[in-house]
Chains A and B, each alone.
Chain A
Amino acid sequence: MSRPKGGLTQANAPIYEALERFKTARVVPFDVPGHKRGKGNPELSAFLGEKCVGIDVNSMKPLDNLCHPVSVIRDAEMLAAEAFGAEEAFLMVGGTTSSVQSMVLSACKKGEKIILPRNVHRSVINALVLNGAVPVYVNPESDTRLGISLGMKMSEIENAIRENPDAVAVLLNNPTYYGVCSDIRGIVQLAHRANMLVLADEAHGTHFYFGKDMPLSAMAAGADMASVSMHKSGGSLTQSSLLLLGKGMNPGYVRQVINLTQTTSASYLLMSSLDISRRNLALRGEEVFAQVLGLARYAREEINSVGGYYAFGRELINGDSVFDFDETKLSVHTLDIGLAGIEVYDILRDEYDIQIEFGDLGNILAYLSIGDRFRDVERLVGALYEIRRRYSKSGAGLMNQEYIDPVVVKSPQEAFYASKESLPIKDTLGRVSSEFVMCYPPGIPILAPGELVTQRILDYIEYAKEKGCSMTGPQDLEILNLNVLREV
């Protein structure tokens, strides 16, 4: 394991410290960016503030270079690795999407199989479009009342590994958007015995590394790679993320893979935010997340006392497909008051000025973090009371989201690049899609490239559109047409 160099501790933030030193040096810039510390763009400086534009600088010797880090960025990465209990850590500036893609691109290549649950983020399947690897989907169990996908059952993973001994990796969500965790330690053991890597999408799991009473983190479970959205529960700026490596991975190769698609002009705003947030989590994370957990438990209890709403929690744990549950995720099932989650989501925003993370057909999810206060939670609970009082009706006719088993006909890459035609969506029954369709958020595909269009999928898309879900994926932004493979 690479260790931070002598004298550096978690109380340091090397990139931040270098930027502070750099500011006092008053270097005259004859390099990019062209706004020259904001002087060339006064309106932007006024909007973002001089402090902010003043550190929007290019890579240079005293500030290191993310593509080939040898000094302060390297130090920051080593401190991050230490803080997360990883062998190596990479600062990422293209969002956790780039972490996930680098992870997948490092683990498998064209024609190789990767085992994964279908409720993965689109970035995973996008990576398969890029490198031509073939997905082997494990059906995640569904909770029929809540209409959400759960984790992967051990028996399903065992089957997938037995049936696909040539697969090279297993990817899992730790946790899912809703907070559901699979038995990651058990999965790591199974996969490693079969010589497969384990990749964890921990976009929603940064806090597992620091909080007490949290589900197991991927690195602690012995996984080989993990993508951690520091900008979600970790408090760094949007688009900043970390890629972690476990023992036995080749960090030089992973860095090469990252550099295939990552910018050569990495933002120091993003990198310093990662550095400062890592320091904060290492020094105060336990305390911070104890607070978040307290807030979430309180909110869950209060919402469940309103009546009609169900804020689910650890009672879902069943030892297998819900091996553990992340209590900081505040998901609320709304169908019993007669409203789809997406409808509650819209009312909260339009009438109560409350923006939550997302609403799907049956649930809403409020994201609680480091920055929340009890009085904000009171507003959410108060508004949910009001929505029930003003809008509740019979739940008849509401459709629940169910897991739709995909029928994979082509690999994502083949389908994406195949010869295709655009058809009105209602005429695509029985055809193979060449593109994604998903509600965003959560960004989990209903249809991915290479999958068969079935009646259930068409019904689902129609219903989700009618309820006001924000649909994305296809070239046609109105989602009236869908690209499907030409029939030969």
Chain B
Amino acid sequence: MELWFTEKHSDDVNFSINTDRQLYSCQSEFQRIDVFESREFGRFLTLDGIMMLTEKDEFIYHEMITHVPMAVHPNVRTVLLIGAGDGGALRELSRYPTIERIDMVEIDELVVEVCRKYLPQTACRFDDPRLNLYYEDGLKFVRRKENEYDLIIVDSTDPFGPGEGLFTREFYGNCYKALKEDGIMVNQHESPFYDSSREAMQRAHKRIVESFRISRVYQAHIPTYPSGHWLFGFASKRYHPVDDLNSAAWNLLGLKTRYYNTKLHVGAFALPTYVEEILRDVE
């Protein structure tokens, strides 16, 4: 028997994983949630049929979305995590003892429940006493906050479906307001490669540039995401992502990582020419 999970990376490109079995499937109030088990990638989570994470490559995404801002901002005490229901970003953040409070806002409670049950590799720090977990719309949560966070991490799905409000100007503007005067916002920034994702990526950058003084983009290689070439946004009120990187301080923390290191940090902000052009068009 062969059971293949297939996701369309474009109208004419399929990405398939030979799966061993389906562990879970359900339609929540917001989206369809599935968990599969495969030999090559271990367990993986999909939302509305779109790959969110696999056990094999999730470390890349989660390390890059957390350690990059943590190595730049000298004193992160309060963090707002938006989305991130799989717990991967929370796992990485919980390794920093200096963080005092993590507010996490996930719209879909069922995602957290399913991940805690089937994906303990990422959903392993929900018992962190610093965590306050809210199940509500991220846009709604953040608009009531002002001057409250050092770091906001937007770990969203794609801008079609429940995550679409997290790619809007009003959302980025509300995040700006919710950050302290030296705060940083990092976001999942889609991919520059295929047409549909490229447009979403460019629009998101435009919207962020309109709201933040410093707005840079960095990249990582994530094999199970469309084209494998993925971007993150780094938006900030004061700190520059490379000039203000404090490598020595971060390395002194002695955190063991598999993808991130401070040399790669600098390199990740060096983008391919075509990507720079796409971004420059809206700056």
A: which residues have CB within 8 A of B? 302, 351-353, 374-375, 378-379, 381-383, 385-386, 389-390
Q: Does B188 contact A (CB under 8 A)?
A: no
Query: Contact at A378–B139, with CB atoms within 8 Å?
Result: yes
Query: Contact at B164–A386, with CB atoms within 8 Å?
Result: no
B: which residues have CB within 8 A of A? 137, 139-140, 143, 162, 164-165, 168-171, 173-174, 177, 210
Q: Which residues of A contact B171 (CB under 8 A)?
A: 382
Of all chain A residues, the one with the shortest Cβ separation from B161 is: A375
CB distance from A32 to the nearest CB of B (A): 36
Query: Contact at A352–B168, with CB atoms within 8 Å?
Result: yes
Query: Contact at B162–A386, with CB atoms within 8 Å?
Result: no
Q: Which residues of A contact B139 (CB under 8 A)?
A: 375, 378-379, 382
Query: Contact at B170–A352, with CB atoms within 8 Å?
Result: yes
CB distance from B139 to the nearest CB of A (A): 5
Q: List 22 A-B contacts (CB under 8 A).
A: A351-B169, A351-B210, A352-B168, A352-B169, A352-B170, A353-B168, A374-B137, A375-B139, A375-B165, A378-B139, A378-B140, A379-B139, A379-B165, A381-B140, A382-B165, A382-B168, A383-B168, A383-B169, A385-B170, A386-B174, A389-B173, A390-B173
A378-B169 in contact given A385-B143, A386-B174 (Cβ < 8 Å)? no
CA distance A375 to B30 in the complex (A): 11
CB distance from B94 to the nearest CB of A (A): 29
CA distance A223 to B129 in the complex (A): 65
Q: Which residues of A contact B174 (CB under 8 A)?
A: 382, 385-386
Query: Contact at A386–B137, with CB atoms within 8 Å?
Result: no
Q: Which residues of B contact A390 (CB under 8 A)?
A: 173
Majority-rule SS of B interface residues: helix
Query: Contact at A379–B173, with CB atoms within 8 Å?
Result: no
CB distance from A377 to the nearest CB of B (A): 9
Of all chain B residues, the one with the shortest Cβ separation from A305 is: B144
Q: Which residues of A contact B168 (CB under 8 A)?
A: 352-353, 379, 382-383
Of all chain B residues, the one with the shortest Cβ separation from A374 is: B137
Checking B137, B165, B177 against A389 with a beta-carbon cut-off of 8 angstroms, the contacting residue is B177
CB distance from B105 to the nearest CB of A (A): 12
Q: Which residues of B contact A389 (CB under 8 A)?
A: 173, 177
A383-B177 in contact given A375-B137, A378-B140 (Cβ < 8 Å)? no
CB distance from B34 to the nearest CB of A (A): 22
Q: Which 5 A-B pairs have the closest CB atoms?
A: A382-B170, A383-B170, A386-B173, A378-B139, A385-B143
Residue among B140, B164, B210 facing the most chain A CB atoms (10 A cut-off): B140
Query: Contact at A381–B143, with CB atoms within 8 Å?
Result: yes
CB distance from B254 to the nearest CB of A (A): 40
CA distance A379 to B140 in the complex (A): 8
Q: A383-B168, A386-B177 known; 11 other A-B pairs, CB under 8 Å?
A: A351-B210, A353-B169, A374-B137, A375-B137, A379-B168, A381-B143, A382-B165, A385-B143, A385-B173, A386-B169, A389-B177
Q: Which residues of A contact B170 (CB under 8 A)?
A: 352, 379, 382-383, 385-386
Of all chain A residues, the one with the shortest Cβ separation from B162 is: A375
CB distance from A384 to the nearest CB of B (A): 8
CA distance A374 to B107 in the complex (A): 12
CB distance from A107 to the nearest CB of B (A): 47
Q: Which residues of A contact B177 (CB under 8 A)?
A: 385-386, 389
Of all chain B residues, the one with the shortest Cβ separation from A379 is: B165
CB distance from B199 to the nearest CB of A (A): 13
CA distance A351 to B164 in the complex (A): 16
Residue among B164, B165, B170, B210 facing the most chain A CB atoms (10 A cut-off): B170
CB distance from B83 to the nearest CB of A (A): 13
Q: Which residues of A contact B164 (CB under 8 A)?
A: 375
CA distance A302 to B165 in the complex (A): 17
Query: Contact at B143–A382, with CB atoms within 8 Å?
Result: yes
Q: Which residues of B contact A375 (CB under 8 A)?
A: 137, 139, 162, 164-165
Q: Which residues of B contact A381 (CB under 8 A)?
A: 140, 143
CA distance A429 to B139 in the complex (A): 51
CA distance A383 to B177 in the complex (A): 12
Q: Which residues of B contact A353 (CB under 8 A)?
A: 168-169
Q: Which residues of B contact A382 (CB under 8 A)?
A: 139-140, 143, 165, 168, 170-171, 173-174
CA distance A385 to B162 in the complex (A): 21
CA distance A379 to B169 in the complex (A): 9
CA distance A351 to B203 in the complex (A): 12
CA distance A390 to B172 in the complex (A): 13
CA distance A383 to B143 in the complex (A): 9
CA distance A410 to B263 in the complex (A): 83
CA distance A378 to B165 in the complex (A): 8
Q: Which residues of A contact B169 (CB under 8 A)?
A: 351-353, 383, 386
Of all chain A residues, the one with the shortest Cβ separation from B137 is: A378
CA distance A339 to B174 in the complex (A): 20
CA distance A379 to B174 in the complex (A): 11
CB distance from B255 to the nearest CB of A (A): 35
Q: Which residues of A contact B165 (CB under 8 A)?
A: 375, 378-379, 382
CA distance A180 to B140 in the complex (A): 30
Of all chain A residues, the one with the shortest Cβ separation from B138 is: A378
CB distance from A351 to the nearest CB of B (A): 6
CA distance A378 to B173 in the complex (A): 14
Residue among A302, A378, A383 facing the most chain B CB atoms (10 A cut-off): A378
CA distance A47 to B165 in the complex (A): 28
CA distance A374 to B174 in the complex (A): 18
CA distance A353 to B172 in the complex (A): 14
Of all chain A residues, the one with the shortest Cβ separation from B163 is: A375
CB distance from B163 to the nearest CB of A (A): 10
Q: Which residues of B contact A383 (CB under 8 A)?
A: 168-170
Residue among A374, A381, A382 facing the most chain B CB atoms (10 A cut-off): A382
CA distance A382 to B174 in the complex (A): 7
Q: Which residues of A contact B162 (CB under 8 A)?
A: 375
CA distance A352 to B210 in the complex (A): 11
Of all chain B residues, the one with the shortest Cβ separation from A375 is: B165
Of all chain A residues, the one with the shortest Cβ separation from B30 is: A375
CB distance from A410 to the nearest CB of B (A): 49
CA distance A374 to B165 in the complex (A): 11
CB distance from B282 to the nearest CB of A (A): 14
CA distance A374 to B138 in the complex (A): 12
Q: Which residues of B contact A379 (CB under 8 A)?
A: 139, 165, 168, 170
CB distance from A324 to the nearest CB of B (A): 31
Of all chain A residues, the one with the shortest Cβ separation from B164 is: A375
Q: Which residues of A contact B140 (CB under 8 A)?
A: 302, 378, 381-382
Q: Which residues of A contact B210 (CB under 8 A)?
A: 351
